[in-house]
Amino acid sequence: MQKALPKFRAAGAQAIAIGQGTGAEAAEVARELGLEFPVYGDPKRSNYRKLGLPRASLFGISLAPLLEAPLEGLRTLREASLRWSASPRSDVRQLAGALVVDRDGTVRYFHRSEKPTDVPPAEELLEVVEGLRPAAN
């Protein structure tokens, strides 16, 4: 998301992220990763539950990615940072989601991840955002 942030801003969108930790932990993650958009904490994962975001099975976060796509699975493992998984509020099995919400609060796009690597490309989200812009006269 960070790499595509200028395009989102140009389209009039505000990106945010919600993580599993406290607000202080979220701020530390944002600093460490150099994120230039707000990152909020949800230590009880109440937003995850409200949105119906599933939890992966142990098989789903360990062996399944390696069996489905060995090279991608190995790359994901190599690039993964488990530093934040040590937090008592972190659930490594919690899957993510991505939403586009318009100015009126209507959800225009909702993606529920089915596995840890199931993240929609930023271009897909940007396409939805750009579709919300009023047509030029």
Classify burial at 114, counting beta carbons within 10 Å of its beta carbon; exposed 0-12, middle 13-18, buried 19 or more: exposed
More confident position, 116 or 54: 54
Specify if 136 maps to a domain: no
Tokens of 14: 């505000």
Q: What is the pLDDT of residues 32-54, one digit of tens each?
A: 989 999 999 999 999 999 999 99
Question: What pTM, to 2 d.p., does this model score?
Answer: 0.75
CATH number of domain containing 100: 3.40.30
- Tell me the C-alpha distance between 82 and 90, whole Å: 10
Specify if 100 maps to a domain: yes
Structural domain boundaries, residue 10? 5-131
Specify if 47 maps to a domain: yes
Taking 60 as the threshold, does the pLDDT of residue 101 lie above it? Answer: yes
Domain count, the chain: 1
pLDDT on residue 128: 95
